[in-house]
Amino acid sequence: MAGKTQKKERVGILGGNFNPVHYAHLIVASQVYHQLKLDKIYLMPSFESPHVDPKKTISASHRIEMLKLALVEDSSSMEIETIEIERQGKSYTYDTMAELTSQHPEKDYYFIIGGDMVDYLPKWHRIDDLIKIVQLVGVNRPGYPLTSDYPVKWVEVPMMDISSSYIREKISTGSTVDYLLPKNVIDYIDKKGLYQYG
């Protein structure tokens, strides 16, 4: 229609290793989706998170399977973005978001990070370019302050001291992880014998 500007779609991206996905990831994604009134949220598994030892990460196919299981009940607001898995190599967020923003100029991107990650922003690859193409969204995480020298939009989520490393450690010592992640993901981990040895 002449003279009418199309409203840009507002898309949130929660990047991570998801090794494995847990309820804090899902709650963070859902809270940001609702509080910022976004149109969609993508959970984006990294092939190799820049600050994570690749030896401690299981295969991308297992991580994607677990994400699919976690989203079976909510595929309307949340989806999986596999661009970094397909690209392989180190998953630098600037590289990914530059590719996505040039493929989708009709979208505005909100890149979500937990409070623990905010501290590391000065070390991120091309951070000064990244903040020109996405809006960073920070969510609180127990033990981390809600401040940054970068333009971070803060969203308050219920505090949850849950992490993938805690879950991996509990599984390797035979302790329960019930209610920390979806039951169908726990069943998958059991069936495939994942994380048994730390």
Ligand X SMILES: Nc1ncnc2c1ncn2[C@@H]1O[C@H](COP(=O)(O)OP(=O)(O)OP(=O)(O)O)[C@@H](O)[C@H]1O
Ligand Y SMILES: O=C(O)c1ccc[n+]([C@@H]2O[C@H](COP(=O)([O-])O)[C@@H](O)[C@H]2O)c1
| 138 binds, options ligand Y, ligand X, none, Cβ within 5 to 8 A by partner type | none
Q: Which of 33, 109, 124, 188 forms a contact with ligand Y (CB under 6 A)?
A: 124
Cβ–Cβ contacts within 10 Å for residue 65, how many?
Answer: 15
CB 111 within 8 Å of CB 153: no
* 125, two tokens: 């690859």
- Going from the C-alpha of 30 to that of each of 71, 80, 139, the distances in angstroms are 11, 14, 12
Q: How far is the CB of 77 from ligand Y (least distance, A)?
A: 19
Contact between 165 and ligand X by CB under 6 A: the answer reads yes
Measuring CA to CA, which residue among 140, 92, 83 is closest to residue 117? Answer: 140
Contact between 156 and ligand X by CB under 6 A: the answer reads no
How many whole angstroms separate alpha carbon 21 and alpha carbon 88? 20
Q: How far is the CB of 87 from ligand Y (least distance, A)?
A: 11
Taking the least distance from each CB to ligand Y, the nearer of 2 and 53 is 53
How many whole angstroms separate alpha carbon 97 and alpha carbon 18? 19
Contact between 164 and ligand X by CB under 6 A: the answer reads yes
Contact between 80 and ligand X by CB under 6 A: the answer reads no
Residues forming the site for ligand X (CB under 6 A):
14, 16-19, 24-25, 28, 113-114, 116-117, 139, 141, 160, 162-165
